[in-house]
Copies of this chain bind each other. A is one copy, B any other.
């Protein structure tokens, strides 16, 4: 295998730099170089921070340097927010100053036809061994090290908490949208990287880094194309044996591919070829951004299932019907409860409850009834996975039901997920359950498709090992 050794492109310096230079730091609010410096200060970054601007002596109360060469101390990461034509000169200075990694946020390179200019900065990055991310990108976020090179105002998007999901996005816009969405989910992130034109650091480098990153449990990706097909296949083969990868590829149609090329200069390539690689190596393919989050959530929190038999516990008959449909559409079966479970359920359930799967506890089900059902159903040897539907609109469903389900989640070694659909009162309980590590889905389709990906991955691993 001919991958560049991971240490060669020093990505660790981009994610956990001890010192950051913001080149193009500006005193003018609204300017990219202003927003980036402001975000570092507001975000509580504790390393050394060096604004660089040849026309200023100080920016936001920090001493400002004319050039990165004037800093005279080691710089792990340079964030470059200057017009494209001046980037080569600045990057050359970074090289001379021994800067170890760089994020070039500037656009105006290959994506608008300036391939030569892009080639020029790649040469400089290679010459000085600078792990250069971009150009035409948002860069990196690491909530542990508080690195954040995004030039987006903080009030416009929420930022996720610390967690185990790393998100790799070729597109800055898709990246920022997904970051914003993750902030409202129960899971947190380890690393975020938007790498734009992938001129030097590309998806292969990033995947190799994240494969070895102990803080990353699940990898989620949006890509528009890959630069090094063979190397991508090599890393794809290895990485899913170590951790799950959820992927969505833009440009899967011919016309989408054309749009992708105009966006990040990516060669989208044949969708069949990508699809084949993703399938062969156990990637989870999401069909839209919501599904990307749904899959990330289940991989982040759930153990792998032992089989494909699902139990459904519900307080709404119609939702039980719709979920049953999805269970069979997605290739699962409903568990046939053991005779022992059935007779015990019959003894403890009121007469209106039919002892069958889906187990419809009826609209007046409260925490006691949920508890009795969970106690028997989670232990049934015929059950591999449990879907608990809680419609919080019903009279009996309140926080005590949520707490009860959480308590069974904590002791069960089977995948267990919740479906709850609704607005304020429901969302409050969603947050409560997800904070306790119990994933909540807002539709039978989303829940069941996520379980299907979990099972598919479990099968992939068992075939490969």
CB distance from A99 to the nearest CB of B (A): 25
Given contacts A263-B360, A328-B254, contact A318 B443 (CB under 8 A): no
Q: Which residues of B contact A391 (CB under 8 A)?
A: 173, 176-177
Tell me if A157 counts as interface (CB < 8 A to partner B). yes
Q: Which residues of B contact A251 (CB under 8 A)?
A: 321, 324-325
Binding site for B on A (CB under 8 A): 30, 32, 35, 107-108, 112, 151-153, 155-158, 169-177, 180-181, 183-184, 222, 224, 248, 250-256, 258-260, 262-264, 287-290, 315-322, 324-325, 327-329, 334, 351-352, 354, 356, 358, 360, 362-363, 391-395, 397, 421-426, 442-445
CB distance from A459 to the nearest CB of B (A): 22
When the two chains form their complex, are residues A316 and B112 in contact, meaning their CB atoms are under 8 A apart?
A: no
Q: Once bound together, how far apart are the Cα atoms of A256 and B183, in whole Å? A: 35
CB distance from A123 to the nearest CB of B (A): 24
Q: Which residues of B contact A32 (CB under 8 A)?
A: 395
Residue pairs across A and B with Cβ atoms less than 8 A apart, 7 shown, are: A107-B352, A107-B362, A171-B316, A173-B394, A174-B319, A177-B391, A256-B325
When the two chains form their complex, are residues A173 and B254 in contact, meaning their CB atoms are under 8 A apart?
A: no
CB distance from A309 to the nearest CB of B (A): 13
Among candidates B253, B263, B395, residue contacting A318 with C-beta atoms closer than 8 Å:
B263
When the two chains form their complex, are residues A321 and B263 in contact, meaning their CB atoms are under 8 A apart?
A: yes
10 tightest A-B contacts by CB?
Answer: A173-B316, A171-B318, A263-B317, A174-B318, A256-B325, A250-B321, A253-B328, A256-B324, A176-B393, A157-B393
Q: Which residues of B contact A322 (CB under 8 A)?
A: 174, 248, 250, 256, 288-289
When the two chains form their complex, are residues B324 and A35 in contact, meaning their CB atoms are under 8 A apart?
A: no
* Complex: chain B residue closest to A358, CB-CB: B259
Given contacts A176-B394, A423-B180, contact A321 B358 (CB under 8 A): no
When the two chains form their complex, are residues A352 and B253 in contact, meaning their CB atoms are under 8 A apart?
A: no
* Complex: chain B residue closest to A252, CB-CB: B325
When the two chains form their complex, are residues B112 and A352 in contact, meaning their CB atoms are under 8 A apart?
A: yes
When the two chains form their complex, are residues A152 and B393 in contact, meaning their CB atoms are under 8 A apart?
A: yes
Q: Which residues of B contact A422 (CB under 8 A)?
A: 157, 177, 180-181
